[in-house]
Homo-oligomer: A and B are copies of this chain.
Amino acid sequence: MPHWKFKLHEVIYEADTPAGKIFDIALLFVIIISVALVMMESVTSLLLKYSWEFYIAEWVITAIFSIEYILRIIAINKPKRYIFSFYGMVDLLSTLPSYIGFIFGGANLLFAIRALRLLRVFRVLKVTRYIGESRKLIDALKNSRAKILVFLFAVFIICIIAGTLMHLVEGKGGGFDNIPLSIYWCIVTLTTVGFGDIAPVTPLGRLIASLIMITGYGIIAVPTGIVSAEYSKATDKPIKNTQVCPNCNEGRHLDDAEFCHNCGFKLNG
């Protein structure tokens, strides 16, 4: 593996050197601008007024993302590992729609696909690794996941039963016209969101609604209790570097790792 490739990999994939940090922050900046552009393009009045500026900006960003995509493929030993990874797919879908839109037209559907570019925002979260705190938070959440899913599943069954009940009580014609709609209303109510576009009008319906609300208010304690307990248990992990193996794209290495624990490749050139 030539030295320039090693350096390039370090700058693009990692964030431990000054150059790597600058690259990451610059990329972050471009991603945020591209997301802001997609948002602004959705506002009709802005689109009509600045259509030409949007057109230019779209091309500049597509060019930057294309160059970045090519560099990422060049900088790695096994490009397939990157191309078929989750971020590899997202990166490709961030540039492709613009090109297709140019050749074939059909901006409307492509706008939808281009919105996928938003997923790149998650790269931003990589930066949060600098904030050592977030590791512990993510670990606590990972440990709580199974339990919270069981809880949300139970909540969903409560909503199905309560929704059917409300449909039978409030009857057809109002906001509880069919069971799926009633279940939707139950979720809105149990989670204490309460839009108010649908609301019970019969005394019995209001009584059941009260019970649903009090249930929702009482059981919100469950996920909270789970996360609290898991969070107290979680310990701070020592990994603070952002090293990525230039050979196989593996991302988690100990601070003093010399070789990749996945493919045995020497990490520091």
Partner-B contacts on A (CB < 8 A): 35, 38-40, 42-44, 112, 115, 118-119, 121-122, 124-125, 128, 131, 133-134, 136-137, 140-141, 144, 146-148, 150-157, 160-161, 164-165, 167-168, 172, 177-181, 183-184, 187-197, 199, 203, 206-207, 209-210, 213-214, 216-232
A229-B226 in contact (CB<8A): no
Other A-B pairs beyond A152-B218, A155-B217, 5, CB < 8 Å: A39-B179, A191-B216, A196-B197, A221-B224, A232-B232
Q: List 28 A-B contacts (CB under 8 A).
A: A39-B179, A39-B180, A112-B168, A118-B160, A125-B154, A133-B147, A134-B147, A134-B150, A136-B147, A137-B147, A137-B222, A144-B221, A148-B221, A152-B214, A181-B206, A184-B210, A190-B217, A191-B192, A191-B214, A191-B216, A192-B193, A193-B194, A193-B216, A219-B223, A221-B225, A221-B226, A221-B227, A224-B224
Distance A155 CA – B232 CA, assembled complex (angstroms): 22
Kindly list chain B residues whose C-beta atoms are within 8 Å of the C-beta of A183.
39
7 tightest Cβ-Cβ pairs between the two chains A and B? A225-B227, A193-B194, A195-B196, A196-B196, A191-B217, A221-B223, A42-B179
